[in-house]
Amino acid sequence: MHPSTKPSVALLHYSAPPIVGGVEAVIEQQALLLSRAGYPTYVVAGRGGQAEVFSRVQLRVIPAIDSEDPTNLVLAQALADGAPAAGFAAHCDRIEAALAEALADADVVLAHNVMTLHLNLALTVAVLRLAQSSSGPRVVAWCHDLSRHVTPGRGPLRHGFPWDVLRTDYAQLHYVAVSPRRQRLLAEVLSCPAQRIAVIPNGVDPATLLGLSDRGKALVDVFSLLDADIVILMPVRVTRAKNIEFALQVTAALKAGGIEPRLVITGPPDPHASGIAAYFDELRQRRGRLGLEREAVFVYDGTPEAPGPLTLTAGLVGEFYRVCDLVLMPSHREGFGLPLLEAGLVGKPIFATRVPAVEVVGPDDLQVIEANETAAGVAARILARLGQDPAWRLRRQVRREYTWPAIFRRQIEPLIGELVQEMRQAAD
């Protein structure tokens, strides 16, 4: 690996997308994250191929590493029966040779489950040999599941070679478990300290779950909405009647209280309003004085990738509804106030002044902002309302800690960096 380039990373498993499975889904997400971050990335598996991920990431297929490979099934049954597995050593050699070719340009291998499950023990042995080779890649034994045959209390225990490979702590391997419980169980099986095993959880793909388009995802990313504690949506055009000044003050009060908010104003300045350009500049200046350059977003101003003026379709506004935590409508006046109905349809809390739509839906079904209420008071009520909502508390935790981009940024990429540093030190 050249010092100025990123290391190449291979993801290894018995099968790959479009095969349906939890580990296959994890491999797909990790491969996409690595590729988008500029790492030369490929997947090595026994089966797979016609999946969208492989338009970006190369798949290298070795049929013998499939857990359902006919030769493996025969050997696995013999090993499970405790009989000598004739041909096992030769099969290990064949897989090792195929892996050495497929992984020749890999700096790091993320081996998912193959070092902790018994589904293809010839593959397990072959990967271990590569990891122990002085010229081999750094191998991460990524543990989602453990074999019942080496885990006390889960099944009949098997001993001897190759079963003992699954219960041995090898210095050449780096271990990752997907949860603290898996970490403790793997540490018990390997007879090693739990600290020897990193915990990197599985994650969720917010773009898929929230139905975000490519453009919507790009906007959510550039505005760092998934990093926020509270995402406040104002799906309105910029006019004095919308009382955006008050919304900025609410956002500032939340920030002052140690909360990381985002206020998203989706619409453009109203071209029919007199003095609108001056008013919009006034709002931008107020945002600066309040120190809300990051926290308050005027979508109309655009982004570095999509310079303004930027206007959103109704579909894109709908995507922001799905991302947000609440809708804020502190308007001085409204003809009706349609966003209140839209917020109700997607199940988002509403804070609004007594616009006509409040009379339609009923004030008991939303949080009414009274005429004499302060921005600090509204901010306190927002925190109280959301604090009573377990769905918001969980959503906040997931998007800050358990989305794939967050996990990659905080844990996976640093792990790869540590392994590369280790490689360089060993080479010096």
The per-residue pLDDT for range 186-204, each reduced to its tens digit, is 999 999 999 999 999 999 9
pLDDT digits (tens, 9 = 90+) for 132-186: 998 889 999 999 999 999 998 888 899 999 999 999 999 999 999 999 999 999 9
Taking a C-beta distance cutoff of 8 angstroms, is the pair 128, 12 a contact? no
The residues, any chain, with a CB within 8 Å of residue 40's CB and separated by 6 or more, are 6, 7, 8, 9, 105
- 202 SS3 class: coil
Question: Can you give the residue ranges of every domain in the chain?
Answer: 9-204+404-427, 207-401
How would you class 363 by CB atoms within 10 Å of its CB: exposed for 0-12, middle for 13-18, buried for 19 or more? exposed
Q: Is the pLDDT reported for residue 2 higher than 50?
A: no
If you average pLDDT over every residue of the chain, what do you get? 93
Taking residues 315-339, report their average pLDDT.
93
pLDDT at 193: 97
Q: Give the Cα separation of 365 and 348 in Å (integer).
A: 11
Burial 60-74 (b: 16+ CB within 10 A, else e): bbbebbbbebebbee
Q: Is the pLDDT reported for residue 425 higher than 50?
A: yes
Q: Does the fold of domain 207-401 match that of domain 9-204+404-427?
A: yes
pLDDT at 392: 94
pLDDT at 49: 87
Question: Which amino acid is located at 340 in the chain?
Answer: L
pLDDT at 277: 92
What's the CATH code, domain 9-204+404-427? 3.40.50.2000
Angle at CA 148, nearest 5°, toward 64 and 28?
50
The dihedral sign for the CA sequence 368, 373, 379, 384: negative
Superfamily designation of domain 207-401: Glycogen Phosphorylase B; (3.40.50.2000)
Q: Which of 119, 145, 107 is closest to 26 using CA atoms?
A: 145
Confidence of residue 365 (pLDDT cuts 50, 70, 90): confident
Taking residues 102-122, report their average pLDDT.
96
Q: Which pTM was predicted?
A: 0.86
pLDDT digits (tens, 9 = 90+) for 3-35: 448 999 999 999 999 999 999 999 999 999 999
Distances (CA, A) of 189 to 125, 166, 170, 363: 17, 8, 12, 59
- 370 SS3 class: coil
pLDDT at 105: 93
pLDDT at 1: 53
Q: Give the Cα separation of 83 and 140 in Å (integer).
A: 31
